[in-house]
Amino acid sequence: MSLRLRKVYKIMKEKGISAFLITDLLNIHYLTGFTGSNGYLFLSQGISFFFTDFRYQEQSKREVKVDKIKILERNFFEEVPPELKSEKELAFEEHSLTYKAYSQLKKRLPGVKFHPMPDIVSELRMQKDEAEINLIRTASSITDTVFSLILNFIKPGMTEKEVALKIDFLIKEKAELSFPTICASGENAALPHAKPEDKRLKKGETIIIDIGASYQGYASDMTRTIFLGNCSKKAEEIYKIVKDAQECALTNLRAGKKTKEIDALARDYIKDKGYGKFFGHGLGHGVGLAVHEKPTLSPASSETILPNSILTCEPGIYLPGFGGVRIEDLVLVKKDGIEILSKSPKDLITL
């Protein structure tokens, strides 16, 4: 049995859970190695069952590390496997199981008492092991390389879409995209999650580039803001505020700190400079198998930052009609400090 499964069984024992149905595919991947699109993990009395369909019969033999693999002829919820029917109680992932699927289970398991469970596997996923850290390092290194190459590609008159497509191509030469690339220029840079448009790049504009590679399933995430042509004094002022706010947070980012405390350091700095209402998203988020996972750095989060967690630190200022600035680094939190995995320069870049 893998160390990860042993940790889940330990939590189940502590909570008095005898049977647990896991339906979140990322959690299943984390616990079993499965990379397909249809699978269910069932843990009961120390025995692990993996259910999938014919498409993944051979793939599951190669990837999945559990006690028993079962190939289903019909939909899991239309014909519930007999292994579940002998249970008196069943815990399930409340964030993952749909109401329709839950209703089908209730109908087909009339004598079973159901217990919704918080996402305990995502809690485990927060602390990365050495292999995971190395994969994210590689993904981050690919991201840095692509960013350096794109600086030589960007020219006035190009469209945001052209830049984004070039980034996508460069990433896919070595990895996969961890999320849709963002290239937002001018007034579009005031949209934190802008989609690349046919808008052409103009001199004097800010350009936010948010990119990430996914290497062997593990994501990276980085944002840089660059300037095309001369940078206005206002844009330069905003850039410095964002950069200093990030540095304030990074200087204090340590294992054992509360996420909202770190968020407040950057947020209060930006507020003191008069731009508080223009920084409306959280300071950061965990990164791993998903590009957005626990923990969350925001005013509403009270999570504790754990050693061996990897998260982003990404303050920003977004001014409608003018543009925006965001600087985002990927950070490994160690027992005795931090390591910034994003190596791309953060000094003001003018093309």
Return the percentage of the chain with pLDDT > 70, whole number. 100
Q: What is the pLDDT of residue 59?
A: 97
Q: What is the pLDDT of residue 144?
A: 98
Q: What is the pLDDT of residue 230?
A: 84
Q: What is the rounded average pLDDT of the residues 178-191?
A: 97
Cβ 64 vs Cβ 36: under 8 Å:
no
Q: What does the pLDDT look like over 17-51, one tens digit per residue?
A: 999 999 999 999 999 999 999 999 999 989 999 99
Cβ 172 vs Cβ 212: under 8 Å:
no
CA 114: distance to chain centroid? 30
Q: What is the rounded average pLDDT of the residues 107-136?
A: 95
According to DSSP H, which parts of the chain are helical? 3-14, 25-32, 57-63, 82-85, 99-108, 120-125, 130-151, 160-172, 233-252, 259-272
Q: Pairing mode, if any, of strands 349-350 and 47-53?
A: unpaired
Residue type, 151: L
> Positive or negative CA dihedral for 164, 204, 189, 343?
positive
User: What does the DSSP assignment read for 272-315?
Assistant: HTT-GGG--S-SEEE-SSSSSEEEEESTT--PBPPTTEEEEE--
Q: What is the rounded average pLDDT of the residues 197-221?
A: 97
Q: Pairing mode, if any, of strands 113-117 and 89-93?
A: parallel
Provide CB contacts within 8 A for 34, sequence distance 6+. Answer: 25, 28, 50, 52, 56, 59, 60, 63, 64
pTM (2 d.p.): 0.94
Q: What is the rounded average pLDDT of the residues 64-91?
A: 94
Is 98 in a helix, a strand, or coil? Answer: coil
What are the C-alpha distances in Å from 210 to residues 296, 305, 322? 18, 24, 19
Cβ 198 vs Cβ 161: under 8 Å:
yes
Say if residue 1's pLDDT is above 80: no
Say if residue 153's pLDDT is above 80: yes
Q: Pairing mode, if any, of strands 222-228 and 293-297?
A: unpaired
* Distance in angstroms (rounded) separating the CA atoms of residues 313 and 317: 14
Q: What is the pLDDT of residue 141?
A: 98
* Distance in angstroms (rounded) separating the CA atoms of residues 43 and 23: 12
- For 36, the token pair is 């397909």
* Distance in angstroms (rounded) separating the CA atoms of residues 247 and 327: 10
CA 339: distance to chain centroid? 18
Say if residue 270's pLDDT is above 80: yes
Say if residue 187's pLDDT is above 80: yes
* Distance in angstroms (rounded) separating the CA atoms of residues 119 and 141: 30
Say if residue 56's pLDDT is above 80: yes
Residue type, 39: G
> Positive or negative CA dihedral for 294, 324, 238, 277?
negative
Q: What does the pLDDT look like over 293-319, one tens digit per residue?
A: 999 999 999 999 999 999 999 999 999
Cβ 109 vs Cβ 85: under 8 Å:
yes
Q: What does the pLDDT look like over 221-261, one tens digit per residue?
A: 999 999 998 889 999 999 999 999 999 999 999 999 999 99
Q: What is the pLDDT of residue 237?
A: 96
3-state helix, strand, coil in the chain (%, to 5): 35, 25, 35
Domains in the chain (CATH in brackets) are: 3-125 (3.40.350.10), 130-350 (3.90.230.10)
- Sheet holding 284-286: strands in order across? 293-297, 284-286, 309-313, 329-334, 337-340
Q: What is the rounded average pLDDT of the residues 254-281?
A: 98
Say if residue 275's pLDDT is above 80: yes
